[in-house]
Structure 1
Amino acid sequence: MRRLDVFARVALLLAGCAFIFTACGGGNTSSSNNTNTGASKVSVALVTDKGGLNDQSFNHLAFQGYTKAMNEFGFTKQVIESKNESDYIKNLTTAAQGADLVFAVGFLMQQAVYEVATQFPDKKFAIIDGCAVPAGKSECATLPNVAPLYFSEQEAGCLVGAIAAQMELDGKSKIPELRGKNTIGVVAGESIPPVNRYIAGYKYCAKQVNEKINVLVTYTQDFQATAKCKDAALSMINQHQADIIFQDAGGCGVGALDAAEQEGVFSIGVDADQSQVNKSVITSAVKRVDTSVYATVKDFVNGKFSNNPPLFDLAHDGVGYAPVSDKVPADAKAKADELAKKIKDGSLKVPSEIPA
């Protein structure tokens, strides 16, 4: 009888503990589930441009920001990769049918965004490097459901241009790999505003540091075919003795980095830190597309979506330059930092148009 009495008391005690635990712990679980349920109601889609997710550049960065937001806010992955420009309207339409917020990655999607956003006025859209532009027009249309996400690429271009120019100024005595012709180059994709803003800053600040420097620019009219960019870079290196090649062509530009490595010269990456892509890379002009995507999703989740978001510039950590390799002399990095300080305090205005 005593043993049964003991067991009964233990059972009652355990039951009481279980009730208390359920009551207290259940409240926390309910709160957590409510949060997750709210997040799961958010639906976000990402549509790449024709460069695709593996461009090691801005599509890749957009996906990184999207993934961070997806992990934090708990929405279901909806990513559509475009293969051609003709895919844009179709892919954005598909995305809008299944999501409340749709990201269009790239300037080339401006007209497609306008067409689809006007068809889905209750859905929100954000476009990297562009705005909503009606067919046959060149100016942006202000739509309440479209957020244009812009960057000051010219400021990032300025900083890496300063590094390149200072290295040329230092010369072969300090950097034996240089060819001694005071020449650097840019292998670009298509002549579109974000590409040209990078070039504008690169050339302007290179000339500020080294007024006699020769800056070559070649447009390949491509963001994908690495062979085109490699050929353009090889021409700059072998025919014009360029020492440093800045790739400004997305996935195509990886070919320019390969050419630099092959010929034993230096290269500069674009958008993301591309030092892991190729060992010739001494730094990269960084555009924090990932930050813009994540911030836009966060605002949307919190009911703060805006069709007039702030500019992602150097002062707001929207652009910059990646850590430099050990091939970059201290004075070159110091020159970039000096110009960065001037940009932030407003004493240096970097043009967005390519100087003559």
Structure 2
Amino acid sequence: MRTTRKAALSGLAIAGAAILLAGCGAAPEEEPAGSGSAAPEPAADFLPCLISDEGGWNDRSFNQSAKEGMDRVAEELGIEAMEMESTSANDYGPNLETLVSNGCSLIISVGFNLAAATVESANANPDVNYAIIDDYADTDFDGDTDAPNIKPLVFNTAEAAYLGGYAAAAWSAQSGVNKVGTFGGGEIPSVKVFMDGFQLGVEKYNEDKGASVGVVGWDTESQKGSFTGGFEANDVARQTAQGILDQGVDVILPVGGPIYTSAAAAIRDGGEDVLLMGVDSDLAVKDPDLADITYVSILKAIDQAVYDATMSASTGEFDVAPYVGTLENEGVALSSFHDFEGQLPEGTLDEIDALKEQIVAGDITVESPNSP
């Protein structure tokens, strides 16, 4: 278990990395840099706090994105935020107890795996505000959040993954391979929702183009596929990635924080002519050593959701209504294709633009059983 107290500016918002497609919903309002507007004055004793799951702050994915949002708040408000990094599931309860004992005003838990511990802590401390990323904190599955002081911060990533799946299929059809793959870390809804959208996007490409691009590693209808069982970049993750590569794919989507490094290692070591896709954050930016094989990333604006919830709590305006990130409100998006943009099949960007407009307008509904 490691504890840090931070007040460092972190600067990447997902909206800045996303493709600027037509028909976008309104982005969260932010003052332009250098506008001179003062940040809201927080309560004198306001202490925002953040707890990671076992992936840690340097996962270049959802934990790191959450930390960047919290660090941004701390910098703008001129305060300290308490951030506790979990190294295993055994840390969740003790870390939450430490945050409460230090007088945290708001505690944000990063990830589905912290749901049970967060519910227990929130019920024991009704005067503390809580938020949780990627879960409704509904541990008894009755349709309601299990404590009245928890705000869910969830994301309909199936929408953005649909665009990513379409783009993956376009690449694979152009190469003549006609096969793409995906695998997940933990077998949980916030992972499977990416895989659902990805497959549905591939199917949309096939429908529109009369193509026959196949998907290895996941089947949306049966909800069965390839998973490592966790989020560690270990031998299991490497073997799982290799199992997908061995089936002849030329685009692979690992869903689960650091497991992307295992997929990248398998691609590099095998001399595979395969492109990698990122999740949560723009992988080509977060891990520039992989920019040459990173095709595109499916983004969640976790940093912005953490920022907005924390700023609201700082002024006493916190509410527990769930936040759901969508393509319309730019809570989810597709990143730039960076160096691969010029290599896309002609018209692909326009096609993705049109698909996004149709999803935002409600003309296309991306139906995933794992969507929030």
* TM-score normalised by the chain length of structure 1: 0.82
Instruction: Please report how far the alpha carbon of residue 223 of structure 1 lies from its aligned counterpart in structure 2 after TM superposition.
Output: 0.3
Which residue of 344, 347, 351 corresponds with 2:367? 351
Instruction: Please report how far the alpha carbon of residue 37 of structure 1 lies from its aligned counterpart in structure 2 after TM superposition.
Output: 7.4
Task: Provide Cα deviations, 1:294-317, integer angstroms capped at 9, x if missing partner.
Answer: 000111122221111331111001
Which residue of 217, 224, 232 corresponds with 1:224? 232
Number of matched pairs: 311
* CA RMSD, 1 decimal: 2.1
The alignment status of 1:195 with 2:191, answered yes or no, reads yes
The alignment status of 1:169 with 2:173, answered yes or no, reads yes
Bigger Rg over Cα = 1
2:27 maps to none
The alignment status of 1:267 with 2:276, answered yes or no, reads yes
Give the structure with the higher percent helix: 1
CA contact under 8 A between 2:42 and 2:315: conserved in structure 1? no
1:100 maps to 105
3-state SS in 1 of match to 2:155: coil
2:54 maps to 50
Task: Provide Cα deviations, 1:39-77, integer angstroms capped at 9, x if missing partner.
Answer: 552101110000000111000000000000111122213
2:356 maps to 340
2:326 maps to 313
3-state SS in 1 of match to 2:63: helix
- The verdict on how the C-alpha distance between 1:342 and 1:251 changes in structure 2, with shifts beyond 3 A counting, is same
Instruction: Please report how far the alpha carbon of residue 235 of structure 1 lies from its aligned counterpart in structure 2 after TM superposition.
Output: 2.0
* 1:28-43 equivalences in 2 (<5 Å): 38=42, 40-43=44-47
Q: Aligned letter for 2:278? A: G
Q: 1: distance between equivalents of 2:329 and 2:40?
A: 30
The alignment status of 1:71 with 2:75, answered yes or no, reads yes
3-state SS in 1 of match to 2:58: helix
- With 327-336 and 283-292 compared, the bigger mean Cα shift is at 327-336
The alignment status of 1:213 with 2:213, answered yes or no, reads yes
Instruction: Please report how far the alpha carbon of residue 247 of structure 1 lies from its aligned counterpart in structure 2 after TM superposition.
Output: 1.3
Q: 1: distance between equivalents of 2:200 and 2:94?
A: 40
- The verdict on how the C-alpha distance between 1:314 and 1:35 changes in structure 2, with shifts beyond 3 A counting, is closer
CA contact under 8 A between 2:39 and 2:76: conserved in structure 1? no
Q: Aligned letter for 2:227? A: Y
Q: 1: distance between equivalents of 2:58 and 2:47?
A: 24
Q: Percent identity?
A: 29
Q: 2: distance between equivalents of 1:342 and 1:333?
A: 14
Which residue of 268, 286, 293 corresponds with 2:299? 286
3-state SS in 1 of match to 2:257: coil
Q: 2: distance between equivalents of 1:116 and 1:320?
A: 32
Higher relative contact order (CA 8 A, sep 6+): 2
CA contact under 8 A between 1:160 and 1:202: conserved in structure 2? yes
3-state SS in 1 of match to 2:235: helix
Which residue of 240, 251, 256 corresponds with 2:258? 251
CA contact under 8 A between 2:41 and 2:315: conserved in structure 1? no
* 1:117-136 equivalences in 2 (<5 Å): 117-134=122-139
Instruction: Please report how far the alpha carbon of residue 332 of structure 1 lies from its aligned counterpart in structure 2 after TM superposition.
Output: 2.9
3-state SS in 2 of match to 1:62: helix
Instruction: Please report how far the alpha carbon of residue 95 of structure 1 lies from its aligned counterpart in structure 2 after TM superposition.
Output: 1.0
2:19 maps to none
Contiguous gaps of at least 5 residues in structure 1: 1-33, 173-179
* 1:142-181 equivalences in 2 (<5 Å): 142-172=146-176, 180=177
Q: 1: distance between equivalents of 2:125 and 2:92?
A: 15
Q: 1: distance between equivalents of 2:137 and 2:191?
A: 18
1:138 maps to 141
2:314 maps to 301
* TM-score normalised by the chain length of structure 2: 0.79
- The verdict on how the C-alpha distance between 1:309 and 1:150 changes in structure 2, with shifts beyond 3 A counting, is same
Instruction: Please report how far the alpha carbon of residue 171 of structure 1 lies from its aligned counterpart in structure 2 after TM superposition.
Output: 3.1
Q: 2: distance between equivalents of 1:325 and 1:36?
A: 36
Contiguous gaps of at least 5 residues in structure 2: 1-37, 218-225
Q: 2: distance between equivalents of 1:221 and 1:97?
A: 33
